[in-house]
Every structure is written in structure tokens, then in C-alpha cells.
Chains A and B, each alone.
Chain A
């Protein structure tokens, strides 16, 4: 058991290191530099002042040091919990900018990932048993899963937001409200959350439903099911066994899908102007905000790795074969 998790942790640690390093490198090798564009935006009328400002900001952000040193500085300050100052949202610290955005992204991600998984599996398993349901769930599932996130998001925003006017099209909560713990505010928050959530939820739902349906049909036709049936076991019992076996690949699928879902959440947030990490990443790239990009990316890498780790643990719990394998390894 310890070896299993030790190995997993090592792999995760390496992944983290490589991903963060790559993310440190990419923006720095992009053409252009953030200080120049910041100062170009400043539009100071005096070219002399421009030179001074440039030197000043290069010093402030540490761009005047050699690259290897910048890289070392990056790791040291990161372990001290300092992610630097955002260039785009100057002079806010990156940590603060991200912390403001994270609740919104998590609030979208966690429910949509888990709910779509649970409901998708349930719907898929249900569909596999009834011809009529199968004929509807399957095509709908295919359409949903083939739909790009932002496309569905735009459709929802346009139809339910602009045309029907039932839902708001932008923001985390009404522009007329102050955050508070009142029922009004929480309802408003939910109101703004509904459409981005729905677009994430629906797309993911289709995939899970199809996967589960196929798995259940496969399991119901396998030898053990036939054997059980031949023994005269009730259909319910057979289905219960089938479901348990069919759900295992779906758990693996969840681990694999997480990265895709994060990407989906990012574009959805941009469509709905939802104040989460997605909008931040887009702006960070556009403004070559190295620090913000590093920060947001690191947060996502960490999130995906932690989620995968949790799924690893869950796998050990739900699949006795893994436990058996580990016991064998220990012996």
C-alpha cells in the first residue's frame, strides 16, 4: 500500500515539476515583452520618461536578471507562497487575484463534474435496460458530448439570456448588488451560476451516459451474467453486479476527463464573463502577464493532480482487485 502511494506521489511530484517549469518557460519565449507593452499602454508623452519607467519595471519584476536566476527566484518565492505581482492587474499580488477567482471556478467545476458523472452514469445504466429510453438517451447523449463547450454556452446565453431574458448573460452576481449573506444575494449568485453550470454539466453528461450504457450492455452479456441468469438469479441482482463492474472504467474515465473539463470550464467562463480562472488565464496570455499565468496554471495543475490522487484512493476502495494486487506486492 505504501509503495503504491509512494510511487504515485513521486509521479505526481515529477509531473508537477515539469508542468510548472514548462509553464514558466513558455511565456518567456513568446515574442514581445510585458513591460514594453505595459509602457506602450501608458503612452507617456515623454520618451525620456519611458526609458526610466522601463528600467524601473524591469527591475521591479526581476526581468533584468539572467534567466537561470529568474528561474531559481521563481521556485524560491513560490515556496514562500509569493507568486509575484500581476502585470495586468497591477499592482495586485497574483495570489490575491487568484484567490478572488478560485471560488467561482470551483463552484462551477465541482458540482458540474460530480453531478454530470453521477447523473450520467445513472441515466446510462437506466437507458441500457429500456429500448425506448435507449433510443432517446443515446442520440441526445451523442449530440451533447459532441458539442463544444463554448458553443453550447453561446447558445444558452443567447436563447435563455438575450432572447428569453430569463437568465443573466454576464457576471458572478448582479451588478446592482453588494455581496452579503442575505437570501437575495445567494439567490442572485445561483441565478448567475445556473447557465455556466448548465453548459458544463450538459456536455459532460452526454459522455458519461453513453459510456455507462455501453458498459452495462457489455457487462450484461458477459459470461458471469449469463451464468447468473442460467442459475435463475433475479434480473435485479444481475444488474446490480453489472453496474458495479461497469462503474470502474467510468472512474478511470473521470480521472482522465478532469483536464478536459478544466479547459471546458475556462472557455465557458469567458463566454459568460464569469469571474473565475478562465477569464484570468485568457487575459494573462493576452497581456503576457508571466506571473499571473504561472500562478493560475500552477493552481490548475495542482487541482488536477489532487483530484487524480483522490480518484486513485477511491479506486483502491471500490476495486478489490487493486487491494489484492497491492497485498500481493507487499507479500
Chain B
């Protein structure tokens, strides 16, 4: 009996191991057959020197390839497969023709696009002006995210195969430029006849675009793209993306991304790695855009949003006092280890520096100064009447504020601890709290909060997008994306609309309006700019080199695969890198 057991154990072990492998293998195998239907499947492993591994964008399985779902399409759907009419070059501050050869305002309310010749969809059909018109007209469906352009766009028509003309009822020049590089053009011959449901919710498997890559395969934890060798850009743009394959890896956590980076299994990580500074300084072959603080390019501004419908945040004097109590230096150095930069009091990104009116800032800006915060509070009539060390409302009721960020966002959690401590120092009773992300979204939408941090607006072609985010009116029952603080100021909203209608080549005109807006913003301070969040990007030089950096002779494009950043230069980065060997 004992002998029998003895033999049985290893046999059982071997059998189970085999069973485990075969169960593990069975499902991917079916996906293997799916992959076989995709073009050019070759059997073995992807060659390391031709493959780029990226991560930091996709947090769930790549479930759709629908470029209209700008928030959860599989990484690369826009940029690698579907392309835009223009790209936006943040350094030069101008649009770069892409699918369009040129575009110009014929008169004040008519815009005409000239498209490139010889562009083809990956199924071989030619790309024409009809596709462009079709894409914009999809916006007539109410659930399509860019539906609002039809409030001021009157018509779109294809004059001939290479010319598209847009007529406006109200020409919002700033926003139009934004639309020009944000809209991914889809093929009419494949999308025509899709119902509204399919357009918005369709999985759109095997996407057909004009881009430099085609779909190769995907699995729960990755999506693989393969270069298209007949891409039009090779001749028209004199560009060629270097990696033959791009594998985007789904993140389960930032720690795993760090592990992969250190193992040289990943080339471009757009994850937020708190210890990035140590990675760069240690000899790991990992680098960031700047070799010194702040290490990263700036991608967006983190704002302190105040609920202006609640007391005492409805009082500009109180808001100003609060702004003076925030120890930004401690956040930037202590919490972030210099991975971020303190923001300008206007909140405008460094890329928009020319639009910051320095005179207004020096006159009305704020800096960390507890004594001044205390004085401002006292001057405005906030006194500590019950002697608990904290000021009370003017009517004598207690001030007890909650500042919230999503639970688990450790850097923000530390930051609001610093902010709350600063506020307490100045005599404002404030407690940090960390609700679950969904609960926070719910509270934020309904206006059921005191203070929170938000950074959802990214870099764009115009500061207008930021002011739209800060001041948009009217305030609705739920505020989902803009003006979370429910700040109502008709005058500044009119100025924002006025800014929208300044032509984008009229920098002086823009500056004039923006300066007016900045005056009101800094006087009223309904939303307090805190710091510039980075374009998190850690690159490994093991397989690919010549990454964008601040050093001479390297590309200056943003090294990122983030959604809606490919057209801001993320794609160009792929054409600049070089294989290491």
C-alpha cells in the first residue's frame, strides 16, 4: 500500500500539471484561431528587436476597437489605426496636417479642407472627402460624444473627392481646431448603415483605418498591432514608425509595470511610478524626459475644486484665504519627490505660457503664506468665536469642511493631508476623506461635496478648453465633466465664449480675452490651480533608443500611448525611436 502511494504521488502530480497546462491553453487557443484570420500571422514569438512593449493606458481587457469610445477603446485604436485630419504639435503650438493636406477659412463661417491624395483604408478602398463628412455627420446622433458641434456647425459637404467644406452658424474657431485634430475619421463604406447603438456601443472588431498599423491579435491582458507596410505616410509624410509590432500590456497595477520595466520586458511605461526618480538615478537603464526634476513633461493641471454653492466657499474672500494656506512646495517635494511642478496661479499649462498675463498674476496671484491667509480671513469677517482654534462662519455657525479624493490614489491622498494641515494652520477646520472612486464621482456630479481635487482636462491646442472646464454654464442637475464647483458667473462665461470665437492665428486677440478671464479667475478663485500633473513616462533603453528627452539631438515629442495623446505627438515618437542593436 505504501509503495502504491509512493508511486501514485508523482504520477498524480504530473497528471495534474499536464491537466493544468491544457486547461490553461484551451481558451487562448481559440483566440489563436481568431488571430489567424488577421493578416500576416507568423507562428513564433515576436522578435524582440522589432517589437515595442507599452503599458499605462489600458486598465481593462481590450474590449472594443471603436474610435468613438474615446475613453475605453483598446490602446492604439485611435492613432495607430484610425487617424486624424491634423495632429497638434504642442511645442510649436500649431496644427500639423495629417490626413488633410491643408485647411483654411474661406470666409468667416466657411472652412475648407484639402485632403491628401493616395491615402487608402487598410482594406484597399481609397479615402475620400465623403469619409470625412460622414464622420462629422455621425455626430448628429445624440449619443455620440461630439454631438454638440452640430449646435454651431450648419453643414458638411464633400465638394469633390479631395475637398470637404464646412459651413457654420456660429464659428467657434478655437473649438473647431480642437475638433480638427481630435476626430478620428472612420470609413463610410463600412460604417454606413450602422445603427446608433452599433456606432456608440459596437465592438468594431477587426478595425479598418487609414493608419500605420493593423490589428493582429488580442487577449485579456494585451493587444497586438502590426505595421502596415503600404501606409500612405511613408511617402507623403516621410515618416515610418519603427516597431514592426506594438504590444500594449493591460495594467493590473503599477507595481507589475515596474517589475516588467526592470526585467526589460517593457519599453514604454506610461504608469505613475512614485519612485521614478530613483529608477532614473539608479543604474537600471530607465530614463524619463528630463534627467532631473520634474522628470516628466506636464500633461494636465490638478485643480482644487470648491463647491461654490456651499458656505463659506461661496465667498471669494474665503476662497482666496484658503488658496494662501496651501503649502504647494511641501506637496511637490514631500509627496511627489519633485515629479510634478507647482502650477501657475492661472492653472494654464507651461505649453501655454505665452497666454499667462504675468502682470495680472503678480497683482492678483497667490502664494503660500499662512499669516496672509489668517489676515484675509480676519479682514473678511471670519472669527473664532467659540475659541476652538478654528474660525466660524459669519453667522456664527461652525465651519467643518471635508476635502475628498478617491481612495487608493495614494499621491492625492497625501496631498490633501498637506492641504488640510495647511488649512488648519490658517484656522480653517478641514478633514481629508477618501471615499471610493464611484462614490466620489456621484457626489461630484450632484454637488454634494465641499472640496475635491480634479485634473481631467488635458493639454490641448487652446486654453479655451481649460476655461470651458472652469466656467461652463448653465449648471445642470448633475455636472459630469465641467464646472464641478457649480460656479455661476455670466460675465466670465461670456468672455469664454468670446474667446472661442477668436481666430486661432490671432494670438494677440486671444491674449486680450484671456487676460480678462484671468483677472476674474484670480479675483474670484472658484477653482484653485495646484500643480501640473506629469505625462508619466518611463522608458527602457534596452531594446529601443532615441527616446524623446530634454537632451540635444533627441526628439521632443511626448513619449506616450495614452488615449487622445497619439495625435499630440505620441505617434511621431514611434517614428523617431531606433532599435538598440
In the assembly, what is the distance between CA of A169 and CA of B249, in Å? 13
Which single member of B5, B20, B44, B60 contacts A88 (CB below 8 Å)?
B60
Which single member of B16, B44, B69, B200 contacts A114 (CB below 8 Å)?
B16
Number of interchain pairs (Cβ within 8 Å): 249
**B21-A118 in contact (CB<8A):** no
Task: Flag whether A176 is at the interface (Cβ < 8 A).
Answer: yes
**B439-A31 in contact (CB<8A):** yes
**A184-B45 in contact (CB<8A):** yes
Residue of B nearest to A27 (CB): B438
Task: Flag whether B61 is at the interface (Cβ < 8 A).
Answer: yes
Residues 139 to 163 of chain A near chain B (Cβ within 8 Å):
157-158, 161-162
**B43-A37 in contact (CB<8A):** no
**B23-A273 in contact (CB<8A):** no
**B481-A180 in contact (CB<8A):** no
Assess A47 versus B263: contact at CB under 8 Å? Given A31-B436, A107-B24: no
Interface residues on B, range: 35 or more
Of B28-36, B161-169, B505-513, the segment with at least 4 beta carbons within 8 Å of chain A is B28-36
Residues 219 to 278 of chain A near chain B (Cβ within 8 Å):
236, 240, 270-273, 275
Task: Flag whether B25 is at the interface (Cβ < 8 A).
Answer: yes
Residue of B nearest to A240 (CB): B1
**A177-B45 in contact (CB<8A):** yes
**B438-A36 in contact (CB<8A):** yes
Q: Specify which chain A residues have a CB less than 8 angstroms from the CB of B25 in the assembled complex.
A: 103, 179, 181, 185-186, 189
**A174-B253 in contact (CB<8A):** no
Q: Specify which chain B residues have a CB less than 8 angstroms from the CB of A172 in the assembled complex.
A: 24, 28, 219-221
Residue of A nearest to B220 (CB): A275
Q: Specify which chain A residues have a CB less than 8 angstroms from the CB of B27 in the assembled complex.
A: 99-100, 102-103
Assess A283 versus B44: contact at CB under 8 Å? Given A170-B256, A172-B28, A270-B253: no
**B148-A36 in contact (CB<8A):** no
Residues 38 to 57 of chain A near chain B (Cβ within 8 Å):
39-54, 56
Task: Flag whether B273 is at the interface (Cβ < 8 A).
Answer: no
Residues 464 to 481 of chain B near chain A (Cβ within 8 Å):
468, 472, 476, 478-481
A residues engaging B (CB < 8 A)?
30-34, 36-37, 39-54, 56, 60, 86, 88-92, 97, 99-104, 106-108, 110-111, 114-115, 118-119, 122, 157-158, 161-162, 165, 168-182, 184-186, 189-190, 193, 197, 236, 240, 270-273, 275, 279, 282-283, 286-288
B residues engaging A (CB < 8 A)?
1-2, 5, 9, 12-13, 16-17, 19-21, 23-29, 31-32, 35, 41, 43-46, 48, 51, 53, 59-61, 63-64, 69-72, 142-148, 200-203, 217, 219-222, 224, 247, 249, 251-253, 256, 259-260, 262-263, 265, 435-442, 444-445, 456, 468, 472, 476, 478-482
Not counting A103-B25, A111-B16, A193-B21, a sample of 20 additional A-B residue pairs whose C-beta atoms are within 8 angstroms of each other reads A31-B439, A32-B439, A44-B145, A45-B145, A52-B142, A56-B200, A90-B64, A97-B61, A106-B23, A107-B20, A157-B259, A169-B260, A172-B28, A172-B221, A175-B265, A178-B35, A179-B35, A180-B43, A181-B29, A282-B252
> What are 30 A-B pairs at a CB distance below 8 A?
A31-B438, A33-B438, A37-B438, A43-B71, A45-B146, A45-B148, A47-B482, A54-B478, A89-B60, A90-B63, A90-B72, A91-B201, A100-B61, A107-B23, A111-B13, A114-B16, A169-B263, A171-B221, A172-B28, A175-B265, A177-B45, A179-B25, A179-B32, A180-B29, A182-B43, A185-B25, A270-B252, A273-B252, A275-B219, A283-B60
